[in-house]
Amino acid sequence: MMRQMRENTKWIMLITALAFVGLMVFEWGMDMSGQSGAQLQGGEIGSIDGEPITFEEYDRFYRELYQRRQAETQEPISPAENRELEDQAWEQLVTDRLLRRELSRLGIRATDQEVLQAARYAPPPTFASNALFQTDGEFDFDKYHAFLSSPMTDPALLAELEAYYRDVIPRNRLFQRVAAGIYTPEPELWRMYRDRNETASIRYVMLEPARVVPNAAVTVTEEDIKAYYEAHREDFRQDARAQIRYVTLDARPGTEDSAAARDRAFDLRQQIVEEGADFGEVARVESADPASASRDGDVGLVRRADLPPSFAETAWSVPIGQVSLPVETQFGFHLVRVRERTDSTARLSQILIPIELTREHEDLILTRADSLEVLTENFTLERAAQDLGLAVREANVTRAQPFVPGAGSLDDGVYWAFNTAEAESEISPLFEADGMYYVIELVRRTPERVPPLEEARAAIRLRVQAQKKLERARLTARDMIDRVRQGATLEDVAAAHELQVQEAGPFTRVDFVPGIGRANAVVGAAFGLDRGKVSGVVEENDALYIVQLIEKSEASRREWEAQKDQQGRMVTAALEEARIRQFMEELRTKAEILDRRQEARAAANAPQTPTSPFF
């Protein structure tokens, strides 16, 4: 037992270390999100109330999130997902800094006794779920305590555990203090139970003004248009825009790179099969999959249904114990060795050779990128593109929408267009984005503005027309209701206007009702009616409804009484989490948080584009 523990100590330490940041930030419901440059190199990238945030701090959070995402998926991390991870890293860093500062202000810290008690009786989740400390699928405290007290346990692991508890315990105490005193009275618990258990079934007629009122029935005058414009000028405000022309240079691996990766995979297979090289040693040195490479290529037990088709076909056809020919997936070329398999699962190892730029292809791309940069510094964008056989394209962008069809998100270039470019026809420096280099020419920059009446006239006419149709439709709906209350059937009055009577239910107050929606005025009206009665005109989502109740079932108070204690605990837990989130938002609101990642990224791109430190 102790030998097995000692052999697993390093692995446990790794898992624990990777879990620390995530546990500290996420364990108590702090999953909040708030753009970062993938080309930052160092220095300060922001501050909180004047206290600097360094790139090194930010990078630690980013790398932890990146490693976690890699462990969760077999798919490669896309550029969009990477930007999301960068933003999450920033938000987690800010949250962590604010919490530490608040704990210091309040003097909340963990005592030695608290750390000792927590270490003995509240193991971290990564330990609690570890098979090493389980017996018959249940966590075994005897095994856990034996591990902690063993002289063979690495002291560095115990230091990591102590640091973990000295961080988590104060946060837990702070959150308990924040959430203290939350109580939900029984009438509120009953209302919540009733909303989820009382049901109604209805018949209804929906009137869509655009359909029931013809265009010819309403008139929009010039006075109407002017009055609407004056009353709603801010509704027409437009973000600042930039019209750009741009040239892109593809920097992704090509067919020659794929062929080189395939040849490398064949070479490695030959070393193993024909020259006697050890598969595990080759995997540790050559494989691009860090998780399996660290285990001599061992992937573990996998399901056939979870694998890419080409990989699965190879894994279920190569003889047990032999090394397959290279098989290509979206990740690159794999050498696969299967140790055991059934019809649906296999235990296998792999060596992954990614498809990357060869030195020759990379040199060629960099030479062309240098040429593009020099040409645009001395000639027009058209001349540079023509000399390099590239296309000049155009696009309109805003600060909030730097995405360009066919090119992707040109964050750095769009930032330059709005913040650095001094004049129209100016050409940007060379930028690097995901799988390409690019240059932008600023054609025109339009500031944020409210367009004049003439530009907004067509849109205003449609809005005023819709308002007048709604007013006419209200009159029609009221007339229909009067007729029903005078004895006509709902079907009769609906047919007179070429409308249909529809049915819905049974549904609760919190259900989504097809054709109606969730928790809106129509649902509320249904529960306010007596059986057979018809509502007044109900407006929801630019449509009008006439509702008639068919049946309504009351919630059982006796059944509520039987479960109200459990319900109360669940509601209290949800309210505590909401209170903690509100507390964290208040900390953020009171702090002056400056995010200068975008500025740092732009600065890093001048005068040359550095290599991303993240990979």
DSSP track, 243-259 = EEEEEEEE-S--HHHHH
Reduce the DSSP state of residue 277 to 3 states and report it: coil
Cα(211)–Cα(228) distance, integer angstroms: 23
C-beta of residue 527 within 8 angstroms of C-beta of residue 198: yes
Question: Which of 338, 337, 323, 330 is closest to 354 using CA atoms?
Answer: 330
pLDDT bracket for residue 8 (50, 70, 90)? very low
Reduce the DSSP state of residue 342 to 3 states and report it: coil
Residue type (1 letter), 238:
Q
Residue type (1 letter), 232:
H
To which residue do tokens 């190879």 refer? 314
What secondary structure, in 3-state letters, does 457-512 show?
HHHHHHHHHHHHHHHHHHHHHHHHHHHHHCCCCHHHHHHHCCCCCEEEEEECCCCE
pLDDT bracket for residue 17 (50, 70, 90)? very low
Cα(230)–Cα(551) distance, integer angstroms: 48
Structure confidence by residue, pLDDT tens digits, 357-394:
999 999 999 999 999 999 999 999 999 999 999 999 99
What's the angle, vertex CA 21, arms to CA 20 and CA 24, rounded to 5? 85
pTM over 0.75: no
Strand (E) or helix (H) holding 579: helix 557-590
Structure confidence by residue, pLDDT tens digits, 394-452:
999 988 888 887 788 888 898 899 989 988 899 999 998 878 999 999 999 988 889 99
Reduce the DSSP state of residue 373 to 3 states and report it: helix
β strands within 177-273, DSSP E:
199-207, 241-250
Question: Which of 253, 281, 247 is closest to 76 using CA atoms?
Answer: 253
pLDDT bracket for residue 142 (50, 70, 90)? confident
Which value, in Å, is the radius of gyration of the alpha carbons in the chain?
Answer: 33
Strand (E) or helix (H) holding 83: helix 79-106
Counting beta carbons within 10 angstroms of the beta carbon of residue 69, is it exposed (0 to 12), middle (13 to 18) or buried (19 or more)? middle
Cα(472)–Cα(487) distance, integer angstroms: 24
Dihedral sign for Cα 31, 36, 40, 42, please: negative
Question: Which of 408, 354, 323 is closest to 83 using CA atoms?
Answer: 408
Structure tokens at 30: 């702090």
C-beta of residue 228 within 8 angstroms of C-beta of residue 460: yes
